Amino acid sequence: MTATSRLRVDGLTVRFHLPAATVHAVTDARFEVRRGECLALVGESGCGKSVMAHALLGLLPGNAEVTGSAWLETGDGDPVDLVAAPEEVLARTVRGRRIGLVPQSPATHLTPVRTARSQLEEALRELGNPASADDLAARAGLRPADLDRYPHELSGGMAQRVANALALAGDPWLILADEPTSGLDRPLVDATMAELRRLADDGRAVLLITHDLRAAELVADRVAVMYASRVVSVAPAAPFFAGPRHPYAAGLLDALPSRRFAAIPGRPPELTRLPGGCAFLPRCDRASAACENVPEPAVLPEPPAAGDAAAGNPGAGDPAAGDPAAGDPAAGPGASPAVSAPAGRSPASRHDGQEVACHHPLDHPLELDRHAAR
Amino acid sequence: MLRADGVTVAYDRHRVLDRVAIAVPPGEVTGLAGPSGCGKSSLARVLALLLRPAAGTVSVDGEEVRRWRHRAAPALRTKVALVFQQPRLAVDPRFTLLDIVAEPLRVARLPLDRAERLAEEMGLTPDLLTRRPHEVSDGQLQRACVARALALRPRYVICDEMTTMLDASTQAHLVARLEEYRRESGAGVLAISHDTDLLDRWCGPDATVHRFGDA
């Protein structure tokens, strides 16, 4: 594992062919996950988040058509394109070894008729890891005695730790956590997020797929927002939670009970018939004629008001840095003035600016009803 | 008033509820908070008349539930509806969404055309109604489950971690729809969640929120 360890998803597209329709589950997704960071992928239910996870693991059903690429680079061998790689490569070198999966509802993910120890030992043996189950379990915060229990004898938190230990059995550098907190209560969510944070700080990378924005806020370095099969925004966590620039992301945050608790009006489009332009258009109060075209992602510099949040490592050593948003031909005539960088500031890199696919991004930290009167 | 008094529930010898009392008044939202494993869902099932308590009484609008088998008699059960935490475990996977919404109407021998209106009010399109559970998202399925719960216009609605699986916008929408039903019908709602932010917001400043342990 070297500093170049990363997952680079480029133009990933997934279609399901049904007898009467085609489901556009993921469209042209582009993002990166780097070693040492946690990227949270958030969005409404049914937006394609989980399909993305399964596509990266090569676990989609036979009627799925996957195009684009998802390069898994580890620096100690040739990068693997998870989309093009044959199943045996994925099975032998990727699943469990380079990518560990923390599943949704760990209690049901475990085999009910075998103890945690027997499942952990099997994983270690199959992955050729000489470590003992006890050591692995201890790293995940379990006592040896806990391992001798069956899944139904484990509490939710313990089952979660067993699942984490299983995900780590092959010493993967990328952890893919698919809704790891759904159904868990607050203390367990906090503990699970702390565990994911620790994994990232240990030098792994975490791709957290969740609908739970508060969980994401606890752990994410960056947040990617998915809407109607597209990744519409990728942003560093602090400015994102202080004031997301994409109107959909702002609406999603605003729907939290601790904020305005108001649903975004309307509903997401059917993935079987996505509109030609911006899929958020019918629900958006900033829409204009420009939104009839699909907006291209553009890197927006932070407004001065969010100054401290935008400070960081401006583009240092970042190969993706320096594609300035201004002058993007796809921004179209309706592009907001916020797209051009303020005088005296260098264009933001992908790492410190909010990357937003929208013709009319919000140009200030939104007046979110953060401490809504109750 | 939907009340439980001195309710005890035990699975084998493991006692999950020990002489618990709670009252759900009509027309109001009552909150119930507590960590996972504290017995919230067992209490929800008792109040929904789906689980006979080992001891204690349950009454609906002053009428005590007497003839329990495993569950209470259907005539009483239709007065209380339950929305479950995991919609996928709460529906028949072979049904279409429209069948799911219409099921209570069919059992009660009522006209089935109301199902489409109920579904429409929950924001389900006709196209979605023809699909089966594995072809829709959790949020869409939970909308169908809420429509099903409201189909017989219950006097009380018990929401057991109804939105734990769902994103913030879907959560806000489902809660708004239940609040609309409560105001229009005068039904009582019991909102069960571990999320105190949600309960504070849903129940409002004047409502009763029981913390488990003192419920």
Beta pairing class for B2-11 and B55-60 = antiparallel
Query: How many residue contacts between A and B have a Cβ separation below 8 Å?
Result: 90
pLDDT band at B190 (very low <50, low <70, confident <90, very high): very high
Nearest to A188 among B36, B167, B201 (CB): B36
Regarding whether B129 and B100 lie in a shared domain, the answer is yes
**Residue B59 lies inside a defined structural domain of this protein:** yes
Q: What is the DSSP string of A46-62?
A: TSSHHHHHHHHHT---T
**Residue B70 lies inside a defined structural domain of this protein:** yes
Give the list of residues 6+ apart from residue B128 with CB closer than 8 angstroms, or none. A270, B97, B136, B140
Say yes or no for a CB contact (<8 Å) between A257 and B86. Answer: no
A102: closest CA of chain B, how far (Å): 17
Nearest to B205 among A43, A262, A374 (CB): A374
Residue-wise pLDDT for A135-152, tens only, equals 988 888 888 988 999 988
Sheet holding A38-42, edge to edge: A99-102, A174-178, A205-210, A38-42, A222-227, A230-236, A354-356, A298-300
Q: What is the DSSP string of A163-182?
A: HHHHHHTT--SEEEEESTTT
Say yes or no for a CB contact (<8 Å) between B86 and A183. Answer: yes
Regarding whether B72 and B11 lie in a shared domain, the answer is yes
Residue-wise pLDDT for B42-59, tens only, equals 999 999 999 999 999 999
Could you give the maximum distance between any two Cα atoms of chain A, in Å?
Answer: 65
Regarding whether B162 and B68 lie in a shared domain, the answer is yes
Regarding whether B98 and B71 lie in a shared domain, the answer is no
- Check: pTM over 0.90? Answer yes or no: no
- Note the pLDDT of residue A341: 39
Say yes or no for a CB contact (<8 Å) between B172 and A211. Answer: no
Q: What is the DSSP string of A187-216?
A: HHHHHHHHHHHHHHHTT-EEEEEES-HHHH
Chain B residues within 8 A of A258 when measuring between CB atoms:
197, 201
Cα dihedral sign, B62-B67-B72-B75: negative
Regarding whether B122 and B31 lie in a shared domain, the answer is no
Partner B contacted by A21 (CB < 8 A): no
Say yes or no for a CB contact (<8 Å) between A46 and B168. Answer: no
**Domain of residue B9, CATH code:** 3.40.50.300
ipTM of the complex: 0.84
Regarding whether B55 and B45 lie in a shared domain, the answer is yes
Total number of domains in chain B: 2
- Give the nearest chain A residue to B86 (CA atoms): A183
A261: closest CA of chain B, how far (Å): 6
- The residues facing B157 across adjacent strands are B81, B189
B127: closest CA of chain A, how far (Å): 9
Say yes or no for a CB contact (<8 Å) between B139 and A185. Answer: no
- Note the pLDDT of residue A191: 86
- Note the pLDDT of residue A303: 61
Say yes or no for a CB contact (<8 Å) between A257 and B205. Answer: no
- Note the pLDDT of residue A50: 86
Regarding whether B162 and B147 lie in a shared domain, the answer is no
Give the list of residues 6+ apart from residue A15 with CB closer than 8 angstroms, or none. A22, A23, A24, A25, A64, A65
Neighbours of A20 (CB within 10 A): 5
Regarding whether B146 and B160 lie in a shared domain, the answer is no
**Residue B46 lies inside a defined structural domain of this protein:** yes
On the CB side of A12, how many CA atoms lie within 13 Å of its CA? 32
Regarding whether B121 and B68 lie in a shared domain, the answer is no
- Note the pLDDT of residue B149: 97
Say yes or no for a CB contact (<8 Å) between A257 and B139. Answer: no
Say yes or no for a CB contact (<8 Å) between B168 and A255. Answer: yes
Contact in structure between B151 and B115 (CB atoms under 8 Å)? yes
Q: Which domain holds residue B61?
A: 1-79+154-215
| Chain A interface mutation, best of B142, B167, B170, highest count of A Cβ atoms under 10 Å | B167
Regarding whether B72 and B1 lie in a shared domain, the answer is yes
Regarding whether B163 and B73 lie in a shared domain, the answer is yes
Regarding whether B175 and B141 lie in a shared domain, the answer is no
Say yes or no for a CB contact (<8 Å) between B176 and A258. Answer: no
- The mean pLDDT value of chain B amounts to 91
- Give the nearest chain A residue to B177 (CA atoms): A263
Contact in structure between A46 and A268 (CB atoms under 8 Å)? yes
Say yes or no for a CB contact (<8 Å) between B198 and A257. Answer: yes
Residue-wise pLDDT for A63-118, tens only, equals 999 999 999 988 778 899 999 999 999 999 999 999 999 988 777 789 999 999 99
